Amino acid sequence: MQINHVVLSGVIVAAALAASPTLAQPVAEFYKGKSVTLIVSSAPGGGYDALARTVAPHLSRHIPGNPSVVVRNMSGAGGIVAVNHLFNVAAKDGTVIANVQNNTPFEPLFGTKEAKYDPLKFNWLGTPSIETALLTVWHQTPVNSWKDVLTREITVGSSGQNSTPSFYGRLLIETLALKLKIIVGYESQSRVFLAMERGEVDGYPSVFYSALTSTRPAWLTEKKVKLLVQIGLEKEPNLPDVPSALELARNADDKALIEAGAGPLGAGRPFLMPPGVPADRVAAMRRALMATFKDPAFVEEARKRRLDVNSQRSGEELHALLQRIYTKTPPHVIARLRKVMNPG
């Protein structure tokens, strides 16, 4: 019997497409009429929650097929619960995305055993901003630059030994040999700010520039504080005269340690999808998110809510950042990083 190879090829292709609807279905057709879940790795009421709820309705307009976007909070373990869920449980068809705390992509690097995921396997979508942390002291403190803190001890307030401010304080001690005495036990950053005003402590080890401009803008305009060192992967453009810890690093190992420690600041407020999502849906969601960040209606709403959305980074840029830190940081530097993260 003679076989018509053209017909046979057509049958094979049709069968393959029928067996793989994921590959055959256009992105807009897939999303039309569906609901996308946007998981937030923190509790309602915080900054990440506010960002996600601001993004959701605008993102819906930019995704092909215009699915609804529903926010779901999944807090726990500093965001690790949500990221574990995203990696191990969440649907991998493109109907689940997340906005997670920026520490979570680096928890495996920090040696956190509860982090049951590989950050390099996620599909990173982008962030509306990156962060810069600042070693900040009250204007009456008798130091005027970071060099003064090499010989004169200052006190800085923090919430707990394992908190982010305490970590960045220890990072500055480890890499720049600054004489910081970290005083823990304050309920919040605002309580430390009050303690600075009262003269109980000299400063704060890592005020985010975005937090300073949104909650204490008069401190800058009235010169109520001195900014001694920037911590971050990039310098804040509005603070060209404040030296960066990366610039001040004493050697290559210290510089690598600062870069790894500042990784979360470079990740900003990252959005991501689980691993295994079809590539065309990942690409469409990346485009939709970046279009949202540049949408004038979104930008205006974010401005009214005092959300920083002025330094976007793409999903490709986030993945490149993680790839560089995870693969280029020497093992002995990672060991130092974990010691700074968990001092005992």
If phi > 0 it is left, if psi is from -120 to 50 it is alpha, else beta; for residue 249 that is: beta
pLDDT at 127 > cutoff 70: yes
Q: Which pLDDT band holds residue 179 (cuts at 50, 70, 90)?
A: very high
Q: Which pLDDT band holds residue 298 (cuts at 50, 70, 90)?
A: very high
User: Average of pLDDT values for 162-186?
Assistant: 96
User: Average of pLDDT values for 61-86?
Assistant: 97
Q: What is the pLDDT of residue 329?
A: 98
Q: What is the pLDDT of residue 236?
A: 94
Cα 153–chain centre separation? 31
User: Average of pLDDT values for 193-213?
Assistant: 95
Q: What is the pLDDT of residue 343?
A: 86
- Hey, CA dihedral for 323, 335, 267, 253, is it positive or negative? negative
User: Average of pLDDT values for 41-61?
Assistant: 94
**What span, in angstroms and rounded, lies between the C-alpha atoms of 255 and 248?**
8
Q: What is the pLDDT of residue 19?
A: 42
Token duo for residue 147: 């060099």
pLDDT at 12 > cutoff 70: no
Q: What is the pLDDT of residue 24?
A: 55
* Partners of 226 in beta bridges: 137
Query: What is the reported pTM?
Result: 0.88
User: Average of pLDDT values for 88-106?
Assistant: 97
pLDDT at 149 > cutoff 90: yes
* 307-339 per-position pLDDT tens digit: 989 899 999 999 999 999 999 999 999 999 999
pLDDT at 14 > cutoff 60: no
**What span, in angstroms and rounded, lies between the C-alpha atoms of 80 and 84?**
6
User: What b/e readout covers 285-307, taking b as 16+ CB neighbours within 10 angstroms?
Assistant: bbbbbbebbebeebbebbeeeeb
Yes or no: say if 83 and 94 are a contact pair by the CB < 8 Å rule: no
Of residues 17 and 119, more confidence is placed in 119
Token duo for residue 251: 């050697």
Please tell me the number of Cα atoms within 13 Å of 30 on its side-chain side: 19
Q: Which pLDDT band holds residue 344 (cuts at 50, 70, 90)?
A: confident
pLDDT at 86 > cutoff 60: yes
**What span, in angstroms and rounded, lies between the C-alpha atoms of 100 and 73?**
10
Q: What is the pLDDT of residue 21?
A: 44
Q: Where are the alpha helices (DSSP H) in the chain?
A: 5-19, 21-24, 27-31, 47-62, 80-88, 107-110, 164-176, 189-198, 209-215, 217-221, 245-248, 252-261, 263-267, 279-294, 296-304, 315-328, 331-341
**Type of residue found at 340:** V
pLDDT at 22 > cutoff 60: no
Token duo for residue 102: 């920026």
